[in-house]
Structure 1
């Protein structure tokens, strides 16, 4: 009996190691789609993309809890996801940093180093990072100099914070949606120019060079859509690129994704901080911006009209959603992959087929509360076993 008590601590430590390995494995399930062409038939030539969002890293300002617990587990999650899911690419839909706009160049570099340590084996894959509001800050603080500084350190972004690229014959286009909320300034116009360039390239490729060139000279401003310029677009819906955003598109009235009561049930202290008025009303030229809001309706319709996206991926709300817009465009919102935002973080895997099918798998990670409870339970068992063993030795010595 005494011998068993002496090896109890070793058993507990071994059990904890096994638990850590098991709990760091993501759980994934295919999301049913309302699109008939989106069938979950996997092919060896399909492109599998892992999409994460809202990592909210602190770099050199991270405390002990983040560095030695949360970041350690997130690194395990990334490694296990890489080994288990075997993705071909990694996309981060914004907010790599918790407060990137407030950081000096040196501190921003420490965030990137933290990110590289966390994603580990994914650095060998194609990587794209979208700019989020935490990365570049409030509208009144956003400047071309700041965008250039941050964009130049991230792969594939231009001076406006947008990116266009192709992987395995799948076209992707990412937008700096923060700039679209910042009123009539050069940054927003720079993003509009990027949209127009992508729109012309799309029409040139699909409709024909002559027609697209003629269209490029025809601008139409709709009185209900502010200053967004509309050009005629003969491209059919869904023929455009895969669109990558940080802010979601404007929701329709029947969009259950914007159910505030559902969001508040899982809100974290960091999310409550975000729910304050974030954008300066005068600078942004619009009402107060909060976490539950998305891109304005005029910007949403302009983007869909100009780009005719194959599918849209967005983030920011910290929760998963799969939504079909009125025109048939499918939008998938990626949950936050950090315990700093949610007790139950997650990510998605999008598989792009050769026949335009897109299969979405929603993946969930272990709850932080469950992991902490496991550690506390092991600690209590160790202390209890130690106490029982000590008392047993004391009684034996007295005899």
Structure 2
């Protein structure tokens, strides 16, 4: 009888201890280094500073925080675990910097400034130890709204709350001799508006700065007034920079993609065409699908405002490649991971959503920029599935009730 009573009294402690160990273990990310898909014909790099260390950057996207509108499940379950995932990722990966590629808020474009402040407070609490690292956040369509509701004043106010962004939501910075440029890709989808013109100015400014840095002040000034009419929407400055010699480009929307693309989740790769077939089969109606196709066609036309699509329009994409010659591109928005190589050999990595609100298996990217200035290794990291955590909770509850039942059943036998 005494043994049964002691076992029953220790049972809650044992169960809680086991679950705490499980929770600690499951909070660490599972990471896999991906093979490089980038073709770089110029392997020689001059003026390498051997004293520079590799730069390890953790990149997340689509946090979709709700702030003061978060319910019990989101606040005390989903956001709680996401905070633990950030903490354990920081401990295990030891990154040098954190990049957030848009959609910090689930519906920021609909929020008042007071409610936006609650989102920012929740954002700071979730990041935890990352607040001590260099941080850069770019704006997504859920943060600032779609084209019909895009407001320059709202974008300016939101951008002021994140470090390194100008009034249009663009930014540029250098860390460990690696140059980064972030663009407000939402504005590039929205036709002729002030924000789009401001983004174009930011692109042109960075292009001139890069040419001055690479070619020297005199050569850059000689080409300052030379333009080429290569698009109905853009007047492009002549750029003699080599492909891949520019900065690391950060966007919320992926650039327009042609050629070979793979979507990967962990070790599973799926062709992009399968995704297109899935969308066709599961579209709400044929008319809805035709409207989607018409929206994409409008992006190709190059005239008038762009419908909000999944990628930056082709002419804006070509303009970005011409002006910036990006070394590598990181984007988001699709909520899935993909690794794409553009026709000029530039690699674009799309970062998956880091939330259980839109997918069962969130993930993020760790990019390591090596000191030879050319090689970039990309590691895909996944965190625990929400379904697995829920199954663990259910099993723990069932086992706890089972042991209580067994201990209560054995107690009368001990008395007889």
Give CA deviations for 1:175-204 in whole Å, capped at 9, x if unaligned: 000000011111100000000000000111
Answer yes or no: is 1:32 the counterpart of 2:35: yes
Deviation at 1:140, TM superposition (A): 1.3
Give distance in 2, aligned partners of 1:86 and 1:43: 20
Partner of 1:269: none
Deviation at 1:255, TM superposition (A): 2.4
Partner of 1:359: 377
Deviation at 1:253, TM superposition (A): 3.7
Choose which of 294, 301, 308 in structure 2 pairs with 1:289: 308
Give distance in 1, aligned partners of 2:206 and 2:52: 29
SS of equivalent to 1:172: strand
Moved more, 380-389 or 91-100: 380-389
Give distance in 2, aligned partners of 1:193 and 1:344: 38
Q: Is contact 1:45–1:353 with CA below 8 Å preserved after alignment?
A: yes
Deviation at 1:144, TM superposition (A): 1.1
Partner of 1:376: 394
Q: Is contact 2:135–2:163 with CA below 8 Å preserved after alignment?
A: yes
SS of equivalent to 1:150: helix
Deviation at 1:395, TM superposition (A): 5.9
Q: Is contact 1:6–1:389 with CA below 8 Å preserved after alignment?
A: no
Partner of 1:254: 260
Choose which of 329, 333, 338 in structure 2 pairs with 1:312: 329
Answer yes or no: is 1:329 the counterpart of 2:346: yes
SS of equivalent to 1:341: coil
Partner of 1:216: 224
Q: Is contact 1:221–1:227 with CA below 8 Å preserved after alignment?
A: no
Give CA deviations for 1:107-152 in whole Å, capped at 9, x if unaligned: 1111011010001000001000010000001111111101111001
Choose which of 76, 88, 99 in structure 2 pairs with 1:91: 99
Give distance in 1, aligned partners of 2:332 and 2:387: 23
Answer yes or no: is 1:238 the counterpart of 2:251: no
Choose which of 102, 105, 109 in structure 1 pairs with 2:110: 102
Deviation at 1:286, TM superposition (A): 5.2
Answer yes or no: is 1:166 the counterpart of 2:174: yes
Choose which of 368, 378, 387 in structure 1 pairs with 2:405: 387
Q: How has the CA–CA distance of structure 1 residues 344 and 43 changed in structure 2, closer, same or farther, with 3 Å as cutoff? A: farther
Give distance in 2, aligned partners of 1:117 and 1:235: 42
Give distance in 2, aligned partners of 1:14 and 1:264: 47
Partner of 1:66: 74
SS of equivalent to 2:401: helix
Partner of 1:229: 235
Choose which of 14, 17, 22 in structure 2 pairs with 1:19: 22
Give distance in 1, aligned partners of 2:214 and 2:331: 25
The alignment's C-alpha RMSD in Å is 2.6
Task: State TM-score, norm by structure 2.
Answer: 0.86
Choose which of 72, 80, 84 in structure 2 pairs with 1:76: 84
Q: Is contact 2:181–2:247 with CA below 8 Å preserved after alignment?
A: yes
Q: Is contact 1:30–1:361 with CA below 8 Å preserved after alignment?
A: yes
SS of equivalent to 1:328: coil
Give distance in 1, aligned partners of 2:260 and 2:96: 34
Deviation at 1:25, TM superposition (A): 0.3
Q: Is contact 1:43–1:353 with CA below 8 Å preserved after alignment?
A: no
Choose which of 22, 38, 59 in structure 2 pairs with 1:51: 59
Give distance in 2, aligned partners of 1:151 and 1:320: 26
Give distance in 2, aligned partners of 1:207 and 1:287: 35
SS of equivalent to 1:178: helix
Say how many residue pairs are matched. Answer: 382
SS of equivalent to 2:181: strand
Gaps of 5+ in 1: 267-274
Q: Is contact 2:262–2:339 with CA below 8 Å preserved after alignment?
A: no
Deviation at 1:260, TM superposition (A): 6.1
Gaps of 5+ in 2: 44-49, 264-270, 280-287
Deviation at 1:265, TM superposition (A): 8.0
Q: How has the CA–CA distance of structure 1 residues 36 and 181 changed in structure 2, closer, same or farther, with 3 Å as cutoff? A: closer
Partner of 2:282: none
